[in-house]
Amino acid sequence: MPESKYKLLQELLPWLDKYEQEQGALGASLPDFQRWLGERLMLEKQAVPATKPEEALEGEIARYLTILNRYARFYIKKALQPTDFVSMDDFGYLMHLLDGGSLTKSALIQKNIHDIPSGTEIIKRLIRQGWVNETRDEKDKRKVYLTVNETGKAALMASLSQLRQVSRLFSRNLDTLEKQQLLRIFKKLELFHHDQFLRHKDKSLDEIINSV
């Protein structure tokens, strides 16, 4: 068969390789690859030539992520005012217990990407509110498992509508394709940093940077 008949396949293979590298532990599928390729080709079509060095681009990305985080906290603070939640962290801890069932204190703190002292204070607050139950392991009394109780579930359900409004507001000016593209980028970043956090959380910043 003439080599020219493989031209399209040769163009496709580098994209497929890049897609599989990005997916990592998430796995890959043909429908997802089709969506991914469509988004990438659209981004390439819309891309403008780089006018700043890589270091400046990275600085701007970090700056805008920081600013967006502040806007998110601004909206969330308003959303939580009519509820019994002190912060979004309280809500996040309860949601992890609702989704994951019974968890030890250390496992719950790690899932929320907190240090032990900060996470312990949040857990104490949830227990004082009467939203979380503690149960000691029958075989290992040092282990304490946490579960969200019916009062905690009711508090979660009562606040969901408020927080859903924040979710809608936060990406209000993006169309569906832009939301899909942004979500894929965020997932890629989160996977990378989750791995760094689990493997290097007790190391210095220089050690983390040198390990990447």
Helix, strand, coil percentages in the chain from 3-state DSSP, rounded to 5: 75, 5, 20
User: Does the pLDDT value for residue 181 go beyond 80?
Assistant: yes
Q: What pLDDT sits at residue 140?
A: 79
DSSP 14-40: HHHHHHHHHHGGG---HHHHHHHHHHH
Q: What pLDDT sits at residue 142?
A: 80
Of residues 29 and 191, the one with the higher pLDDT is 191
Q: Mean pLDDT across the chain, nearest whole number? A: 86
Of residues 20 and 132, the one with the higher pLDDT is 132
- CA 100/CA 66 separation, integer angstroms: 29
Q: What pLDDT sits at residue 18?
A: 79
User: Does the pLDDT value for residue 170 go beyond 80?
Assistant: yes
Q: What pLDDT sits at residue 51?
A: 57
Q: Are 144 and 102 in contact (CB under 8 A)?
A: no
pLDDT in tens, 63-108: 999 999 999 999 999 999 999 898 999 999 999 999 888 999 999 9
Q: Are 185 and 191 in contact (CB under 8 A)?
A: no
User: Does the pLDDT value for residue 1 go beyond 50?
Assistant: no
- CA 36/CA 22 separation, integer angstroms: 10
Beta-strand relationship, 103-104 and 132-136? unpaired
- CA 65/CA 60 separation, integer angstroms: 8
Percent of the chain with pLDDT over 90: 49
For residue 3, the 8-state DSSP code is: G
- CA 97/CA 132 separation, integer angstroms: 9
What average pLDDT does the segment 19-48 reach?
Answer: 71
Q: What pLDDT sits at residue 95?
A: 93
pTM over 0.85: no
The ranges assigned to domains in the chain are 84-159
Beta-strand relationship, 144-148 and 103-104? antiparallel
Domain 84-159: top CATH class: mainly alpha
In a 10 Å sphere around its CB, with 0-12 CB exposed, 13-18 middle and 19+ buried, how is residue 104 labelled? middle
In a 10 Å sphere around its CB, with 0-12 CB exposed, 13-18 middle and 19+ buried, how is residue 37 labelled? middle
What average pLDDT does the segment 23-33 reach?
Answer: 69
Q: What pLDDT sits at residue 124?
A: 95
Q: Cβ atoms within 10 A of the Cβ of 83, count?
A: 16
In the block, tokens 């942004």 appear at: 182
pLDDT in tens, 130-169: 999 999 877 877 888 999 999 999 999 999 999 999 999 9
Amino acid at site 20: E
